[in-house]
Structure 1
Amino acid sequence: MYRNQEKKRLSHNTMKAMTTIFDNITSPSQFWSFWFIIALLLHLLLKKILTKSKPSSPNTTKPPPSPPALPLIGHLHLLTPVIVTSFQTLARRYGPLIEIRLGASKCVIVSTAAVAKEILKTHEHNFLSRPEFGASEYFIYRGSRFVMAQYGPYWRFMKKLTMTRLLSPPQLAVSTAIRSDEIVKLVERIEASSREGKPSDMRLEFTTLTNNIISRMLLSTRCCGGKDEAKEIKELAWRINMLAGKLSLGDILGALKVFDFSGNGKKFVETLKKFDGLVERIMKEHEAAIDSGDEERKKDLLDILLEIYNDPNADMKITRTDIKSFLLDLFMAGTDTTATAMLWAMGELLNCPESLQKLRKEITSVVGNKKPVQESDLPNLPYLRAIVNETLRLHPSAPIIIRECLDDCNINDSLIKAKTRVLINAYAVMRDPESWSEPDKFLPERFLEGSHENIGSHRMEMKGQNFRYIPFGSGKRGCPGSSLALLVFPRAIATMVQRFDWKIGGDNGGNVDLTLGSGFAAEMATPLICYANPIL
């Protein structure tokens, strides 16, 4: 009954809108544009009627349920600027697996742990690839991008290389001094602001920290306060990420996106070419340094990649394009995501002083007041780990896990057709009241040993083997950078709590505004500006 009423209402509104448009036609071009739209709408309506009139086999599995859609725009009218909460709201009304259409782009949304498990474990082999989006046709490294690569020999080789060489435990141990040095510099910057009576912009501080760590691990130079070329790489990577997001939204236009009405495609290519030229120059500098035979020079990740590039016996021959694309992926995926997670943790702790004081007490008892927190201390700080886990549950850095269906597949009694884009809303999965008590509340205690909600060992939690907790995805396509993030994130937060008392800046009554920002990333909408008072 509700569906019939909804259809009548939409039909009435559509006819009313058409009448208004027709009454305001004032030129021949408007006249033909109007009738073109009418013809297009009639075509879509006829297609829908013919599709419905086809006799269906009793053995045919139905597609996932879908909310009522409008012509041309599909379900765009049902979305708010905060995409993850829009998907969550739709799921609560229409079910844990729904199909929506955003203009010309169609996708399936997953919102519960049970359905996520079907995608990420039961039928994992069928969902190991990721779909191409609007930016792909402008991407000069197309076919080389590890993060978005189709599942196949290249992706498997790069994943193995990442886990066994580039971000392996021994390689991460080599770069411990880099992370320690950047934590010290973070403290020094905040202390300097405190002496001058100025607040600290915590997003800027955390982003500077992660950018410098990634840059030094990759290129042996700092993005902020280092060589100009490193700073330029950071800025170009940020711009590429921004333009890629805008171009992905262009999928809504379907075939019309090739006209690049916004000009973002052209800007994207120009920015990529600048990045390409800069990285090529840095690669040649590294090659020259390697050829010089400097034995005291420490290997960075670019050196390892160049070594494999020049190795005739490597399992797979990688190209210079592959190297450039991989570096871009690390800058884009390894900086803002970790910085955002730290920002959310600080916001939650400042709004929950009981948890902050409990963490400070734990740090004092385990580490002390004067000795800085080290990476070796992290396993002995269970409440810190619980805070990290709870922050990632409430605020996953990658709130949407993207997959593509390889072959037709039956999921949750619905047919997912081949090439369908599947979006797993990790934000909704980890706030599902069926899986978590008080799901929207910051309760680190739920991750402590003995809690009825504790989901297993820390290792199991972070590998996404319990599907109600998937901050880093799950399975073969789980985030390869999680090990690095879980060294930087908790240590930085522990240092901020150990070294400073905090006061919120602005006119918000002493509380942090934890409103979600717009888009897919689910970042903090309002800057976190704090006054720090060093603890002597």
Structure 2
Amino acid sequence: MVLAVGYLLQPWLRRKTKHGRLPPGPRGVPILGHLHLLGKNPHHDLNQLAKKYGPIMYMHFGFVPIIVVSSPEAAEQFLKTHDVVFASRPPLQAAKYISYEQNNMTFVPYGHFWRTMRKLCTSELLSHPKISSFQSMRKEELCLLVDFIEQASRDNVAVDLSAKIASMSADMSCRMVFGKKYEEEKFDERGFKAVMRDVMQLSAAPHLGDFFPYIGALDLQGLTRRMKALSKVFDDFYEKIIDEHIQFRDRGQTKDFVDIVLDFMESEQAEHPRVMRKVQDELENVVGLDRMVEESDTKDLHYLEMVVKEAFRLHPIAPLLLPHEATEDCNINGYYIPKKARIAVNVWAIGRDPNVWTDADKFIPERFARSSIDRLPTPSIWGWPERVRRMQLGLTMVRLVVAQLVHCFDWELPNMLLEELDMSEAFGMVTSRDKHLLAIPTLRLHK
């Protein structure tokens, strides 16, 4: 009876508090709140709900209040205008075990350590000299990939672009962060990429302990056990690295880059041969067919820049930004945002907002012909300078890899029509293609 009455009164009780009006949102159910509304791809489900309830939406996941943000204007209010209020991270089960009690740059709560890590990230990892210092390494690793694909073109066999790009990204990450590449088996018997994939999936998985704190210790889903096992893998790996650095203190470090956008970009270009042809025409005019692309060439590749922006718009690396937490009560656009509420920014929805983008679901690079990088949904709303620099580091790598692969090779799908290309996503902390992209290369360069 009590639950039934509470359920019936819930919409009225939730609309107004002594502090002000809460954002609108769907009706939940007792105990679960709105968890039952989320499916395989939560960013899709939340986008559909936002179409009905608006760009700032109030929900409950278990006992935790959630504010879902789905427009660039609203996101700017939370992450730029009131960035200090929402700078902190909530306590999460995944962060507890994978990031050493939330003590890494991704999950650290707001405070002195957070400010120290920001300064360290800005000065030591993301400065222009640091990024430039690894230019020769990026070229070397990319040449290894091109050599592999060139051999595949001679043999007329398909290349698993998803796997090869992921491997190259992992090698670059290790060289930039640790100073050397590590063989897969030296990390863990499953391999570096398999472990990182588990980390991303577990970090994004709804953990009951995050929404029902009193049952977290029971580990009903088995997620805590799996996260503890992964934590042990990283402990052993980091111990090896520290021991090596004690013996050889001449290693360098900088920020690594993920391969997700590269994978989706190659998929979009395979699905849109007109776009690939225009990129190749631009490359022929700027670079010619007698040499590979140099990093210095990318500043003159204006259409390629549009393609990169469009890929980021449709396929953001993190469709839902890692949750922020309100450190105090706040008022946004006339709505009361309570202290401890978690903020979920749906970047995927922002990139497909029909109020911002014409033909929002279509891949049309030309929409950025008169735009700057700040028109991208992500950097413009992130606010903090080092976040934009992180994006710039990623863009540097994306531009070079895509330019090189499209310039050096023509691509075709193996025994498949364009309409059959599967662009479905595998949701996680970062969202990748659900199925690997296979394509057959043909060498274009004269040398």
Deviations 1:63-119 (A, max 9, x none): 111212223332233333111111110000111111122334431111112211211
Which residue of 2 is the match for residue 354 of structure 1?
Answer: 274
Q: Which residue of 2 aligns with 1:438?
A: 359
Measured at CA, do residues 51 and 519 of structure 1 come closer, stay the same or move farther in structure 2, by a change above 3 Å? Answer: same
Q: Aligned partners of 2:80 and 2:418: how far apart in 1?
A: 46
One-letter code aligned to 1:88:
N
With over 3 angstroms needed to count, the CA separation of the structure-2 counterparts of 1:186 and 1:140, relative to structure 1, is: closer
In structure 1, the partner of 2:392 is 483
Contact 1:516–1:525 (CA under 8 A) maintained in structure 2: yes
* Segment drifting more, 494-503 vs 471-480: 471-480
Cα pair 1:341 1:396 within 8 Å, conserved: yes
- Give the distance between the partners of 2:229 and 2:424, measured in 1 at CA: 34
2 CA distance for matches of 1:93 and 1:247?
Answer: 24
Partner of 1:469: 377
Are 1:381 and 2:289 counterparts?
no
Q: CA deviation at 1:49?
A: 6.8
Whether contact under 8 Å (1:351, 1:511) holds in the other structure is no
SS at match of 1:400: coil
User: Of the candidates 301, 326, 329, which is equivalent to residue 253 of structure 2?
Assistant: 301
SS in 2 for 1:531: strand
Q: 1:101 aligns with which of 60, 63, 77?
A: 60
Matches within 5 A, 1:47-446: 47=6, 60-139=19-98, 141-223=100-182, 228-229=186-187, 234-246=193-205, 248=207, 250-290=209-249, 299-301=251-253, 334-335=256-257, 338-401=258-321, 402-446=323-367
The residue identity in structure 2 corresponding to 1:158 is: M
CA distance in 2, matches of 1:82, 1:281: 37
- List per-residue Cα deviations over 1:436-478 (Å, max 9, x = no partner): 11111111111123xxxx2xx33xx1xxxx5x72258511273
Query: Equivalent residue of 2:344, what SS?
Result: strand
Cα 1:426–1:65 shift into 2, 3 Å: same
Relative to structure 1, is the Cα distance of residues 186 and 230 closer, same or farther in structure 2, using a 3 angstrom cutoff? Answer: farther
Deviation at 1:235, TM superposition (A): 4.6
Q: % of aligned pairs identical?
A: 29
State the shift of 1:137 in Å.
3.8
Deviation of 1:285 after TM superposition, in Å, equals 1.4
Shift of 1:363: 0.8
SS state at 1:135 partner: helix
Deviates more, 1:438-447 or 1:55-64: 55-64
Gaps of 5+ in 1: 1-41, 291-296, 303-329
Deviates more, 1:491-500 or 1:397-406: 397-406
Q: 2:383 is aligned with what amino acid?
A: G
Q: Aligned partner of 2:252: which letter?
A: D
Alpha carbons 2:330, 2:336 under 8 Å: kept: yes
Residue 172 of structure 1 deviates from its aligned partner by: 1.6
CA-CA distance at 1:162 after TM superposition: 1.7
Aligned to 1:535: 444
Unaligned runs of 5+ in 2: none
Distance 1:162 1:208 in 2: 25
Give the structure 2 partner of residue 512 of structure 1.
421
The one-letter amino acid paired with 1:530 is: A
Q: Indicate how the Cα distance of structure 1 residues 276 and 53 shifts in structure 2: closer, same or farther if over 3 A, else same.
A: closer
Q: CA deviation at 1:176?
A: 0.9
In 1, Cα distance between equivalents of 2:163 and 2:242: 28
Which amino acid in the other structure matches residue 67 of structure 1? Answer: P
Q: Secondary structure at the match of 1:410?
A: strand
SS in 2 for 1:256: helix
> C-alpha deviations, 1:148-185, integer Å up to 9, x for none?
11122212222212221223211222211110011101
The ranges of structure 1 where at least 4 consecutive aligned residues each deviate by more than 6 angstroms after the TM superposition are 49-59
State the Cα distance separating 1:56 from its structure 2 match.
9.8
Separation (CA, whole Å) in 2 of partners of 1:127 and 1:526? 36
CA contact (8 A) 1:426 1:471 kept: no
The higher-RCO structure (CA 8 Å, 6+ apart) is: 2
Amino acid at match of 1:419: K
Alpha-carbon deviations, 1:219-253, whole Å to 9, x = none?
A: 2222457x834995555444333333336465344
The count of corresponding residues between Structure 1 and Structure 2 is 442
Structure 1 residues 201, 139: CA separation in 2 closer, same or farther (over 3 Å shift)? closer
Is contact 1:221–1:230 with CA below 8 Å preserved after alignment?
no
In structure 2, give the amino acid aligned to 1:239. D
Cα offset, 1:191, TM superposition: 2.0
TM-score (norm 1): 0.76
Distance 2:289 2:336 in 1: 58
Q: Deviations over 1:299-355 (max 9, x none)?
A: 4118xxxxxxxxxxxxxxxxxxxxxxxxxxx6xxx45xx311011111111221111
**In structure 2, what is the Cα distance between the partners aligned to 1:136 and 1:339?**
22
C-alpha displacement of 1:515: 2.5
CA-based RMSD of the aligned residues comes to 2.8
Aligned counterparts of 1:222 and 1:412: Cα–Cα separation in 2: 49
Deviations 1:373-421 (A, max 9, x none): 1111111111111111111011111121232111111112211100100
Given that residues 75 and 100 in structure 1 are in contact (C-alpha distance below 8 angstroms), is that contact kept between their aligned partners in structure 2? yes
* Superposition deviation, residue 509 in structure 1: 4.8
Task: Give the drift of 1:260.
Answer: 0.8
Q: What TM-score comes out, normalization by structure 2 length?
A: 0.90
Q: Supply the distance in 1 between the matched residues of 2:15 and 2:229 (Cα, whole angstroms).
A: 50
Larger Rg: 1
**In structure 1, the residue corresponding to 2:21 is in which secondary structure?**
coil
